[in-house]
Amino acid sequence: MKKGNSKALLPILVFLVLYLGLGILFEYILRIPMGFYNIPIVVTFLIALLVACLQNPGRSFDEKLALMGAGIGDKNIVTMILIFLEAGMFVGVVGRSSAESVAYFTLSIIPAKYAVAVLFVVACFVSTAMGTSVGTITLLTPIAAAVADASGFSLPLCIGTVMGGAMFGDNLSFISDTTIAACNGQGCEMKDKFRENFGIAFPAAVVTLILILVLSLNTPLASSVVREYNLIQVIPYVLVLIGGIAGINVFIVLLAGIVSGAIIMLATGATAVTALLGSMGSGAAGMFETTMVAILVSAICALIRDYGGFDALLYWIRSVFKGNKGGQLGMGLLVGAMDIATANNTVAIVMANPIAAEMAESYGISRRKTASLLDTFSCVFQGIIPYGAQMLVAISAATALGFEVSAFDIFPYLFYPYLLLVSSLIFIFIIPERKK
């Protein structure tokens, strides 16, 4: 087994030191709100790429450009970028009102004592349909605050419930950045990864729902929450969800969602043609940073692989984690560590992808299981770190409405991420891998 060249991993170290160091400085020393998200991640990756280019003087700059071009031009990377853009257009078309309609419709037909359980189910559905945990939390936190204020349920419980449901969809959705990154990075079908992932996520979601119901039935209630909704706006979400589960090509599924969403929004008078086109453009533009990260990381990883950096990392991993199950755990901890460092589960997966692919081949782990582990462990860590976008957005949304809540108040109610970790470990060490 090759020992490789550990010095080739310097660009990753430079990125982590810059991003994590500046994040800690901004967030905890300078007390800048959402400090980690004030750091231009594209710039830090460009600096890391510069460091990679300065290494290995034995290769000319033209040779390095050719290596970077080959890495960026990989079929999986191109596919990932195109899906990112189409997913952004879909979210831009369906907008905020569709997700709110799902929530208020469900709350209107369920007794008040089940309101928090409804929040969890709705968050699961909306995040799976929209493919974004942050977007789900942004939309549903005001509803969660309204439920807490009107019914008597605790605000941290309601917010923690929404965050848990949001991470469920982030992990499973066919149009989630994390799913797209994991599947295309490992070269597996989304439907195969979904089936592998569902066996981990669904039991964790069921136990979470049971815990929420137990807490809810012991809480004295005041009243329920009732708002107006437009049920027809839910149709694009349902189409995307059904198409994805059925295994239809993701490009066709997203196109159907965009077309149906546009027709419904125009027919119901929810938006004008010019505004709709603007929303589609804004949605695609919203994927710019994620797309640039995918391109830059591909270029950096191409150089690191050529220099022997991945061989060095795999040599170290093989010396610590033994056997197939140990390899799966090592893979999960690898992407988890990168998520802790970057506070972005999509970036963590993109960074871990090439290393995980090498590990999968070395340990005999299937592509679908590799994609599932990367997505699941990244969502576990992203769902609980106090400086992640999910937690910061939830707290900011509640604060904007006049409520006081902190990450430490919410931590005890993040049932789903904790149970997802337990389910993942059971999945690795107890349940045998499915055969095709």
pLDDT in tens, 263-299: 988 888 878 888 888 888 888 887 787 778 778 888 8
Tokens of 131: 């493919």
pLDDT class of 435 with cuts at 50, 70, 90:
low
Whole-angstrom Cα distance, residue 411 to residue 386? 9
Q: How far is residue 235's CA from residue 258's CA, in Å, rounded to a whole number?
A: 11
> Between 433 and 109, whose confidence is greater?
109
Angstrom distance (rounded) from CA 215 to CA 110:
17
Average pLDDT over residues 358-363: 87
Q: Which has the closest alpha carbon to 416: 153, 151, 154, 207? A: 207
**Whether pLDDT at 25 is above 90:** no
Say how far apart CA 362 and CA 373 lie, in whole Å: 16
CA dist., res. 272 & res. 104, Å (int)? 24
Q: What is the 3-state secondary structure (H, E, C) of 94-114?
A: HHHHHHHHHHHHHHHHCCHHH
Instruction: Report the alpha-carbon distance of residue 264 to residue 430 in Å, rounded.
Output: 47
Write down the pLDDT at residue 141. Answer: 80
State which H helix or E strand residue 436 sits in.
Answer: none
- CA–CA dist 375, 190 (Å, integer): 12
Mean pLDDT over 167-186 rounds to: 87
Q: How confident is residue 341, by pLDDT bands cut at 50, 70 and 90?
A: low
Question: Could you give phi then psi for residue 27, rounded to 5 degrees?
Answer: -75, -45
Confidence of residue 206 (pLDDT cuts 50, 70, 90): very high
* Dihedral pair phi/psi, residue 298, rounded to 5°: -60, -40
Calpha distance 166→125 (Å, rounded): 9
pTM (2 d.p.): 0.71
Average pLDDT over residues 348-367: 86
3-class SS of residue 428? helix
Residue in 289, 278, 431 with CA at minimum distance from that of residue 347: 289
Q: What pLDDT is stored for residue 41 in this prediction?
A: 78
What pLDDT is recorded for position 191? 85
Confidence of residue 74 (pLDDT cuts 50, 70, 90): confident
Mean pLDDT within 143-148: 80
Backbone angles phi, psi at 105, to 5 degrees: -60, -45
Confidence (pLDDT) at 98 = 62
In 236-391, beta strands by DSSP E: none
Instruction: Select the highest-mean-pLDDT range: 84-88, 126-130, 418-422.
Output: 418-422
Tell me what the mean pLDDT of segment 49-55 comes to: 92
Residue range 333-348: average pLDDT?
79
Structure tokens at 54: 């300065």
List the one residue out of 13, 418, 377 whose CA is nearest residue 182: 377
SS3 content of the chain, % helix, strand, coil (to 5): 80, 0, 20
DSSP state of 198: H
pLDDT at 371: 93
Tokens matching residue 418: 């904790």
Which has more confidence, 184 or 377? 377
Q: Does the pLDDT of residue 109 top 80, yes or no?
A: no
What is the token pair recorded at 407?
Answer: 């990450």
CA distances from 66 to 47, 83, 294, 298 (A): 19, 25, 17, 13
pLDDT at 432: 65
Q: Compute CA 132 distance to the chain's CA centroid, rounded to the nearest angstrom.
A: 7
**What SS3 state is found at 221?**
coil
Greater model confidence, 264 or 34: 264
DSSP label at 6? G
Which has the higher per-residue pLDDT, 290 or 56? Answer: 56
